[in-house]
Structure 1
Amino acid sequence: IYITGSKELHDGPLEFEVAMQWNGTYTESIYSYVNNIATRHGGTHVSGFSAALTRSLNQYIKNNNLLKNTKVNVGGEDMREGLTVVLSIKIANPQFEGQTKQKLGNSEVASVVQTIVGEEFSTYLDENPQIARTIVDKAILAAQAREAAKKARELTLRKTALDSGRLPGKLSDCQEKDPTKCEIYIVEGDSAGGSAKMGRDRRFQAILPIRGKILNVEKARLQKVLQNEEVGTMISAFGCGIGSDNFNLEKLRYHRIIIMTDADVDGSHIRTLLLTFFYRHMPALIDNNFIYIAQPPLYRVTRKKVSRYIHSEREMDEYLLSLGISDVTLRLASHSESLEKDEVKTLLYSILEVEQLIASIERKGIPFREFLGARNAEGLFPRFHVILNGEHLFVHSNDQFVELKKQNEELQRKAHEETLASIPEEEQTEEMKAFHPRPLSFVELYEEGKLKGLKEKLAEYSFSLDQYMKAQGKLLDILDEAGGETPIYTLKELIEFLRLNGRT
């Protein structure tokens, strides 16, 4: 639904436009702007729009007696459930509240927006009764759900002991009572909860284990959210209530709520679900910086009774390689010189980057050997991989790519014309005659730029990218402390040897 309007004010014209659409979600999203400046906290233009929307729908409901079989009061909040709005006004002298210019304060704007939107929206409802009924039915359903959620929330609050101090059985609370000094860790499962309890400082650290993945609140009404056991446990533990009507930040028992899930895909999903819950139903916790995310390690490496925690695959690789080169020396075959430890590290980090780029290229379905073999006469790597008329092609420049796009369209046009010519003219329809070319099938090879730089780095050691997996004579020898020598013929062989050495 799109509405636009304007009115002459004493200090200049006011122009506004609004686009709105209801969808299947349960949240209201209003994006408002004044002279192209985003007003995150709304203002008089938003309040005028909301008032017009509520008044128009209420009048339509009353005129058509749509609540005769329903014992529920439909409010503005219910009417805006699932509504997305973009509202923009242009005004000569905007008056913003505060220094951030995120809330409009011009009082005359509200009445202008309310009047014009009210008239236009009422006309739209009268002219589109089927759509109007759909909007009203959604609002009535939202009101019924709100009433049910209110009862469920009251029941949840009675179960939680906000008045008596009783807390969930699975919560391992801390001794400190000052919320500014307390923190609670939300952990994944009872086993993680047991480990966290052993490592916590019980004076100020509380542990709350949750079972599995909580409800996705983005796809559920508040009534269903409150029926979820894990959500109820968190509400009880935090002590501050839930929802706009019953949330009280002053009753929050912990000023640091730390999400600590496993460092895997499931852990990331649980973390996202928890953040969605806080964002939708306890946004004040995010606004006041009370939500934190712990970053647990992926690995623990123990060597010679010394343990170290590793947080990423790249860090693990670098650590293993640093251990792998600690008791060996690398001697270049080209001029029998040994590399310093810093030089070895620089070389290995370059090879690690090559490995990452190879993985990226091969994820696109292109073998690395084939990619290397596609260099042109100047030694440049391809920028695109294209499939044209069933033929796989490597393209080295934007001009070539544009030319192939033209060829793709011409080939399809020719095939379309030949097909059309084979059909009697009296049997041809307009749909048959219409030509809709399919886009050229391609992948862009962003890696070529980085590989160019790595090629230059490897050249400093007289190595090439071809030597990553293709033997072209001995590259170097690895000398161990016992006097042994291991010949190395490829860069891949080098890095795998040092990884293995780091593990032993």
Structure 2
Amino acid sequence: MAVQSNYTEDNIRSLDWKEHIRMRPGMYIGKLGDGSSPDDGIYILIKEVLDNSIDEYVMGAGKTIEISVHSNKVIVRDYGRGIPLGKVVDVVSKMNTGGKYDSRAFKKSVGLNGVGTKAVNALSSYFRVESTRDGKSAAAEFEMGNLVDEELLDDTSRRKGTKVTFVPDEGIFKHYKFRNEYVERMLKNYVYLNPGLTIMFNGEKYYSENGLKDLLQENINESDMAYPIIHLKGEDIEVAITHSKTQYSEEYHSFVNGQNTTQGGTHLLAFREALVKTIRDYFGKNYDASDVRKSIVSAVSIKVMEPVFESQTKTKLGSTEMGGGLPTVRTYVNDFLKTQLDNYLHKNPDTAEKIQRKILQAERERKELSGIRKLAKERAKKASLHNKKLRDCRVHFGDLKKDNRLESTLFITEGDSASGSITKSRNVNTQAVFSLRGKPLNSYGMSKKIVYENEEFNLLQAALNIEESIEDLRYNNIVIATDADVDGMHIRLLLITFFLQFFPELIKEGHLYILQTPLFRVRNKKETIYCYSEQERKDAIEKLKPKPEITRFKGLGEISPDEFKHFIGDNIRLDPVMLDKDMSIEELLQFYMGKNTPSRQEFIINNLKVELDLVEDSNEN
């Protein structure tokens, strides 16, 4: 029989603002992470501070924002109006305090709930805010949300505005490292959405004149565009549209009030629906929606009064109303495209003809694939009943209400021993394993047909649930886990080729990673240290001297499940697979998988040399 515990007033505990944020950081900034993923908390901290500076620019105050990220310290300086001096402490440390509750001051602002900078303050080991206005300056310093110092200057020559400095707390964000590529992507989005704004990041200037048109040009190579970018602007809406010649899937960049809604929402659904309707009406043909949208690369940005988001991190719009007496989001977007896109197509018949050609090509390919698709689905159905390739987990990326959905991970492994080790040591709630039978097929230069004809690719596509689009992707992190030898590198390259060729947006949106596993184990009777590099090995030997035992791991299969759990748990180390912004996907594939050009040979020799030197060095010890 269960023993009943007393439930008294002593059980009721009231947490102050910073305690609550530090105890439940996921409620405020999504997942924590170490900086290897673009949606990791350390980037959300930058975004929360930056949003306030952007809102100042939108209100016509301050045309330049300066940001620096060096080591773990972030500094954001704007030249806006500055926080009212008597409220500097309150604005960053009292919940439900902020200027945006007064809708006259901030009409279509991003940060409406007065939580943002408080979360940054609470989750930082060091936080300083400084405001200058009317020739006076006030500053406050905090540690873990606790006020430690206040200053007030009655006379200063500093320019007006706000400066925030913070260092994320290593106790919360373990082993974190800022990756400039992710910060740059965020800043580029800000300037595309705010033409005329200058952002200086570590001395480099970011600026856009053409808004979303510039965003698309950054994301698709000109030689890959089926036609010039269609760029349309209204008072509360802006869209940019083109089709890719080589990409199979749909790619969307969506924004609300300057916020990148990576998971879309009502505005993106309305845009996709309105685009199909407008094009069908223009051509007077009832084209299949998937044929109209196939290979589309587009961006949509809308401004909504008091938007409702589905989470604190504002990645998905839930609002159905535009506010301010305007019609619903769906009607507003539909009316805009119906008028503006239709007008554009009438004025640019060359572009209209290229769009129609693209739709007809998509229709032909879909019909060609339909037979093989049906066969492949039947095969996959049988295989999923009998085959052990996928060991699934309980929580998936689409489970919006689960706190840990962002941690959902699929490990793609090779060989029974490695798969076995990961399967036994994984977290069954959030980590799934997909086992390869050996080297996958080289899909370079092949058509989408091969994805259905090749059993392994078809099952992988089904496991990820990305056949139609990546909207229903089942895992946030797709992690390639192969040995760090020549065979493992080759398998890694073949898998990256598969994703680049058929699902490049998985890479563009930061879902694909390489698992780092330790090269060495250094231990004595008291302590064990796992080392991921030659330098870490030397440091461990120095720490555990005189004569520690050194083991080199030659493959994942050599690592026991008991040890493996250390490398795929809280201390997991992932290297994101990123696209080279100076190369198109076609050029990248050509370089890695095309004929052996001298530059590719040189690249392979140089990279193999590093690996071989490491192996030889470890063998000597």
User: By the TM > 0.5 criterion, same fold?
Assistant: no
| TM-score normalized with structure 1 length | 0.45
Find the structure with the greater CA-based Rg.
Answer: 1
TM-score using structure 2 length: 0.38
